[in-house]
Amino acid sequence: MRRSEFERAVRDEFGPNGSALIADLVLTGVGNRTAAQALDAGIPAREVWLALCAETDVPPERRYGVGRVEAKGR
């Protein structure tokens, strides 16, 4: 997952609240950092996305593949 895919996934799942979650919510799954801190520390975006999903109880069926750009022509 690229950072742009992470940002799209956050926007799709959390809407306008996504920015606040990235900046303020401490995620235990990435060493008690916010998503922004974790990304800045070099933790892969996919790992941060999954930690954010776990912390906010996003159902498993909405965790995989969210934020991916669909291939053109499909």
Q: How sure is the predictor about 74, in pLDDT bands with cuts at 50, 70 and 90?
A: very low
What confidence tens digit (pLDDT) does each residue in 25-73 have?
999 999 999 999 999 999 999 999 999 999 999 998 888 766 555 544 5
Burial class (CB in 10 A: 0-12, 13-18, 19+), 8: middle
Residue 6 and residue 36 in contact, taking contact as beta carbons nearer than 8 Å: no
Phi and psi (nearest 5°) for 26? -85, 130
pLDDT of residue 50: 94
pTM: 0.84
